[in-house]
C-alpha cells in the first residue's frame, strides 16, 4: 500500500474537487466569460457604425467629402449628410436625429455633438478634413499635398520580431500571466486550507500512521497540479476555438506553439508553488494562521504577475531566465518571437531545477512542521525540528 500511497492521495484530491459544485460552477462561469468575450469581440469587429452629420450650404462640400472618404479611413464607418438651411436648423437637427454638425470655426472646422463625442466619427472627420485643407494650402503655395508630406511619415520597426507579433504578445501574454496568477492563488489556497483542516482535526496523525508524509505531500501537490492543468487546458482550448471564429483567426496557428510552451512553464512553475503552499499550510495550526504563513508566497505570486506586465527590454530578458518569474515572462517573449531557439529550453531547464530543489526542501519543512500542533511554526523551527 505504501508504494502507491501518493497515487491514492492524488486520486482523492482530484475526485474530491471535480465533484465539488463550487469548482464546477466556477469553471463553467469562466468558460462562459471566455465565450462571451470572444463573441463580443467578433461582434465589435464586424459591427459597422452609421453616422448622420448636418451641414449648412457653406459646409456641404466638405461634409460630402467626409461621407465619400469615410470608408477609406475606417471601413467600419459610414457617413450620411443631412443638409440644413442655417445654424438654427443644424442645432435642432443635432438635438433630434443627427449625430453631429460639421461647420467652420474661427481656427478651422468644428464637429458639434449634443453631449458626448463619437470617437470613431471624430477620427474620420479629422483625417478627411485635415487632408482636404492641406491639399488646398498646398495648391495655394504652388505645390502638391504629396510634395508637402514627402518624408514626414513615421513607421516602426524592431531589431527582433515585428509590431504585429508584439501586439499579439501583449494581449495573449497577459492572458497567460492572468491564468497562472489565478491558478496559483486559487488552487494554492485550496491546497493550504486542506492541509490545515487535516492538521487541525488531527486526521493527519491517522494518515501519518498509514503512509509516509512525503507521499501525502506528493499526492496533494500532484492532485492539485492535475486539476490546475485540466482547468487551464479547458480555458486555452475554448479560447483558441473561440478565436478561430473572430477576425483574429489568422493568429491561431502562430499562437498554438507558444501555448505548448506556456503549458510546460505553467506545469513546472505550478509544482514549485504548490509545494510552497503545502508548506504554508503545514506551518499553520489554525485557519487563522494561514494569512501570516502564506503572505510571503502571496507577495511572490503578485510580484511575478506585475513583473510579467511591467518588465521590458533587457530586464525582461534577464527575468525570463530567473525562476519562478520565468514561468510567466518567458512565454510572453516566445509569443513576441524575440528570442533564440535555445533560450526557452535553458529557461525551462532552470525552472524545472528550481522546482526540484523547492520540492526537496519544502518536503523537509512540510514533514517536520505538519505534526506540530502547539501553534504556528516558523520556518526556522520547522527546519531544526526533529522527525
pLDDT digits 0-9 by tens, 136-181: 777 777 777 676 666 666 555 444 445 555 666 788 889 999 999 9
Report the pLDDT value the prediction gives residue 368, as an integer from 0 to 100. 86
Same domain assignment for residues 111 and 193? no
Same domain assignment for residues 91 and 216? no
Report the pLDDT value the prediction gives residue 160, as an integer from 0 to 100. 46
Evaluate whether residue 268 is within a structural domain: yes
Q: Which grid coordinates belong to 237?
A: 482550448
pLDDT digits 0-9 by tens, 271-326: 999 999 999 999 988 888 888 899 999 999 999 999 999 988 899 999 999 999 99
Q: Is 242 helix (H, G, I), strand (E, B) or coil?
A: helix
CB 187 within 8 A of CB 224: yes
| Domain tally, the chain | 2
Evaluate whether residue 38 is within a structural domain: no
Evaluate whether residue 22 is within a structural domain: no
Same domain assignment for residues 211 and 291? yes
pLDDT mean across residues, the chain: 86
Q: Is 220 helix (H, G, I), strand (E, B) or coil?
A: helix
Please state, as a whole number, how many other Cβ atoms lie within 10 Å of the Cβ of residue 291: 11
Contacts of 269 (CB under 8 A, 6+ apart): 180, 184, 323, 324, 326, 327, 328, 351, 355
**Model-wide pTM > 0.85:** no
Mean pLDDT of 56-85: 88
Evaluate whether residue 149 is within a structural domain: no
% of the chain beyond a pLDDT of 90 = 36
Contacts of 148 (CB under 8 A, 6+ apart): 134, 137, 138, 141
Beta strands in 15-55 (DSSP E): 49-55
Q: Is the pLDDT at 221 greater than 90, yes or no?
A: yes
Mean pLDDT of 67-84: 87
Report the pLDDT value the prediction gives residue 165, as an integer from 0 to 100. 57
Same domain assignment for residues 206 and 284? yes
Would you mind telling me the total number of residues written for the chain in this entry?
Answer: 387
Element (DSSP H or E) covering residue 58: none
Same domain assignment for residues 121 and 251? no
Host domain of residue 87: 49-134
Q: What are φ and ψ of residue 88, in 5° steps?
A: -60, -45
Evaluate whether residue 241 is within a structural domain: yes
Q: What is the CATH number of the domain that holds 56?
A: 3.40.190.10
CB 200 within 8 A of CB 285: yes
Report the pLDDT value the prediction gives residue 231, as an integer from 0 to 100. 94
pLDDT digits 0-9 by tens, 335-362: 888 789 999 999 999 999 999 999 999 9
Same domain assignment for residues 260 and 336? yes
Of 372 and 308, the one with more pLDDT: 308
Report the pLDDT value the prediction gives residue 97, as an integer from 0 to 100. 86
Amino acid at each position: 500500500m505504501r508504494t502507491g500511497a501518493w497515487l491514492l492521495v492524488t486520486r482523492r484530491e482530484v475526485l474530491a474537487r471535480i465533484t465539488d459544485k463550487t469548482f464546477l460552477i466556477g469553471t463553467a462561469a469562466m468558460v462562459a466569460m471566455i465565450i462571451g468575450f470572444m463573441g463580443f469581440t467578433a461582434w465589435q469587429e464586424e459591427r459597422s457604425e452609421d453616422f448622420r452629420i448636418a451641414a449648412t450650404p457653406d459646409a456641404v462640400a466638405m461634409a460630402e467629402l467626409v461621407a465619400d472618404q469615410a470608408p477609406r479611413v475606417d471601413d467600419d464607418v459610414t457617413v450620411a449628410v443631412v443638409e440644413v438651411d442655417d445654424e438654427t436648423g443644424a442645432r435642432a437637427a443635432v438635438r433630434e436625429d443627427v449625430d453631429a454638425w460639421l461647420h467652420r470655426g474661427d481656427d478651422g472646422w468644428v464637429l458639434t455633438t449634443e453631449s458626448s463625442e463619437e470617437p470613431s466619427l471624430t477620427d474620420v472627420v479629422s483625417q478627411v478634413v485635415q487632408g482636404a485643407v492641406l491639399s488646398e494650402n498646398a495648391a495655394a503655395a504652388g505645390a502638391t499635398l504629396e510634395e508637402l508630406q514627402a518624408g514626414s511619415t513615421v513607421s516602426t520597426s524592431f531589431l527582433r520580431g515585428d509590431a504585429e507579433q508584439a501586439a499579439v504578445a501583449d494581449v495573449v501574454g497577459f492572458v497567460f500571466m492572468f491564468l497562472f496568477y489565478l491558478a496559483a492563488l486559487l488552487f494554492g489556497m485550496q491546497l493550504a486550507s486542506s492541509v490545515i483542516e487535516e492538521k487541525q482535526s488531527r486526521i493527519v496523525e491517522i494518515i501519518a500512521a498509514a503512509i509516509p508524509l512525503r507521499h501525502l505531500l506528493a499526492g496533494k501537490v500532484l492532485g492539485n497540479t492535475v486539476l490546475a492543468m485540466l482547468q487551464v487546458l479547458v480555458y486555452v482550448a475554448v479560447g483558441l476555438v473561440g478565436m478561430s471564429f473572430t477576425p483574429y483567426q489568422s493568429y491561431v496557428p502562430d499562437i498554438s506553439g507558444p501555448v505548448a510552451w506556456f503549458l510546460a512553464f505553467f506545469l513546472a512553475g505550478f509544482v514549485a508553488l504548490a509545494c510552497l503552499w503545502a508548506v504554508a499550510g503545514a506551518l499553520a495550526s489554525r485557519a487563522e494562521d494561514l494569512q501570516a504563513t502564506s503572505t510571503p508566497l502571496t507577495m511572490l505570486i503578485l510580484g511575478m504577475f506585475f513583473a510579467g506586465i511591467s518588465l521590458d527590454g533587457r530586464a525582461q530578458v534577464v527575468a525570463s531566465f530567473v525562476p519562478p518569474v520565468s514561468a510567466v515572462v518567458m512565454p510572453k517573449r516566445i509569443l513576441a518571437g524575440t528570442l533564440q531557439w535555445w533560450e526557452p529550453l535553458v529557461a525551462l531547464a532552470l525552472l524545472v531545477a528550481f522546482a526540484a530543489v523547492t520540492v526537496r526542501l519544502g518536503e523537509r519543512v512540510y514533514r517536520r512542521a505538519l505534526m506540530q500542533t502547539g501553534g504556528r511554526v516558523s520556518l526556522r523551527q520547522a527546519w531544526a525540528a526533529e522527525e
